[in-house]
Structure 1
Amino acid sequence: MSIGSTLYNVFLRRTSTFVVVVVASSFFFERSFDLAADKIFDSVNKGKLWKDIKDKYEHE
């Protein structure tokens, strides 16, 4: 049995399992894409964000 047929039999054969796989994979993709986009945004704008400059403007 090849890996393709094993994956088909385990995850894609039944519609309910297929839906669960699609929903779970879309959740994890969205989460990882969001984290990656935030990291890229923070690195491009380093020094300009509030978290980087708030020490200059906050008083105790």
Structure 2
Amino acid sequence: MGFSSTVYNAIFKRTSTMALAVIVSAFAFERTFDLVTDSIFEKVNEGKLWKHIKDKYETEE
């Protein structure tokens, strides 16, 4: 039994299992993509974002 037969029997044989696999994969991809793009954005804009410069402008009252 090869890898493709195992994957077919585990995931693609039943529609409900395949739909669940698609939903879980889409959720995992979305979370990963969001974290990676946020990380890249913060790295490119380091020193320009409010959380990096707010100490200069906030005053203690």
TM-score, with length taken from structure 2: 0.95
Q: For 1:56 and 1:46, how far apart are their aligned partners in 2?
A: 15
Unaligned ranges ≥5, structure 2: none
Moved over 4 A (4+): none
Deviations 1:11-50 (A, max 9, x none): 1110000000000000000000000000000000000000
Sequence identity of aligned pairs in percent?
Answer: 58
In the alignment, the residues of structure 2 paired with residue 26 and residue 3 of structure 1 have an alpha-carbon distance, to the nearest angstrom, of 22
Structure 1 equivalent of residue 39 of structure 2: 39
> When the two structures are aligned, how many residues end up with a matched partner?
60
Aligned-CA RMSD value: 0.5
Task: With the length of structure 1 as denominator, give the TM-score of the two structures.
Answer: 0.97
